[in-house]
Amino acid sequence: MRVDVIGAGIGGLSAALSLLSAGFDVHVHERAAALSETGAGIQISPNASRVLHGLGLAGALAGPAVRPLAFHQRRWQDGRTLQRAPLGEPIEARFGFPYYHLHRADLLAVLAAAIPAERIHLGRRLTGITEERDRVRARFADGSVTESEVLVGADGIHSRVRAELFGAEDARFTGCVAYRGLVPADRVSDLGIEVTTQVWLGPGRHFVHYFVSGQRMLNFVAVIERDAWTHESWTDRGDPADVLAAYRGWHPQVREIVEAADETYIWALFDRAPLARWSRGRVTLLGDACHAMLPFMAQGAAQAVEDGATLAGCLAAGRADPAGALLRYQDLRRERTARVQAMSAANKTRFHLPDGPAQRDRDAQLAAGSTGWSFDAMAWLYEHRA
């Protein structure tokens, strides 16, 4: 069975690898002329590293991946610890697989290297799809046409496949923008930063940082509430000076990390309401194309990796009825991804509480370990076998 995957991001490539491992004839079509990811970090929790290890990627991940020791939430002004939860060896012992920090480009390169080069087609911008009784025809801007038994839209939050299936619909601006940057680790060595995920919580904003690329780089994300987004570009170069202005009065460590950056990129954070349907006939969606979410659970990529594994399993079990297999895939994934979407959105409010009674109550809950970040509370997420 031939499967065409539209989009060669982390979701598309991991799905392609899962499908190849299940014996399908897979081809990936990417609109860009080269595989690339703008500099940013990514977190891969055990529910996704279980899939990646199962695909034989443990050795390739060992070099670039960083295994953080803990998840550390801190107060914006004085750096006081609000909560510290173990990761590292304890999380691997509990769930069987590691928690990783990676540069997105490093993960993309690992995935791409595992797929035969002739199966990845660059410079292919989808212009339309036509469904027939037993196949799907995809048309591209370069004039090429492909035919497959199944087509998967892994083409992101602005998915053309989604628009073809269910009509065009704008994504929702969530009221947040994110400045992302990378700093060579030696520039901030004097700060003695631990190998942890550090999340600084403050009024109307938060700040996250962790090491990537074998601890050679420190990745940071500064998330700031904003009323509107008027830029036409999906990503723009940001100015570190704007970040410093937004974090005036914050702990010196936060400000020194930003000051060490040569440049930042600014992302507007969008999401979508959960879809009632992901699939129609022999066409389905995957990752941000069907469940775009805020990054406040660090689960966007992990859920896309899970999607690909579940999709491959459903198609392998339902080769005689591909359309039925896609409906089963959709039904297996919708409730879980919607739950992660909702929790990610709720964290926006929790992370950004203004100083006052609600903030003090949140901090007391964090100190008591009653906010849902214990291993037992996260077992539904991390133990999942996609």
- By annotation, the residues acting in catalysis are 210
Interatomic CA distance for residues 200 and 193, integer angstroms: 13
| Nearest CA-CA partner of 373 in 73, 104, 162 | 73
Interatomic CA distance for residues 98 and 3, integer angstroms: 30
CA torsion sign, 50 to 51 to 52 to 54? positive
Interatomic CA distance for residues 50 and 97, integer angstroms: 6
Tokens representing 84 are: 């510290």
CA torsion sign, 270 to 374 to 203 to 254? negative
For residue 301, how many other CB atoms are within 10 A of its CB?
A: 23
The answer to whether the beta carbons of residues 172 and 273 sit under 8 Å apart is yes
Q: Is residue 376 packed enough to be buried (19+ CB in 10 Å), middle (13-18) or exposed (0-12)? A: exposed
CA torsion sign, 252 to 257 to 259 to 263? negative
Interatomic CA distance for residues 298 and 198, integer angstroms: 13
How is 96-153 classified by DSSP, letter by letter? SS--EEEEHHHHHHHHHHTS-GGGEEES--EEEEEE-SS-EEEEETTS-EEEESEEEE
Contacts of 291 (CB under 8 A, 6+ apart): 272, 274, 275, 303, 333, 337, 338, 340, 341
CA end-to-end span of the chain, whole Å? Answer: 22
Interatomic CA distance for residues 102 and 100, integer angstroms: 6
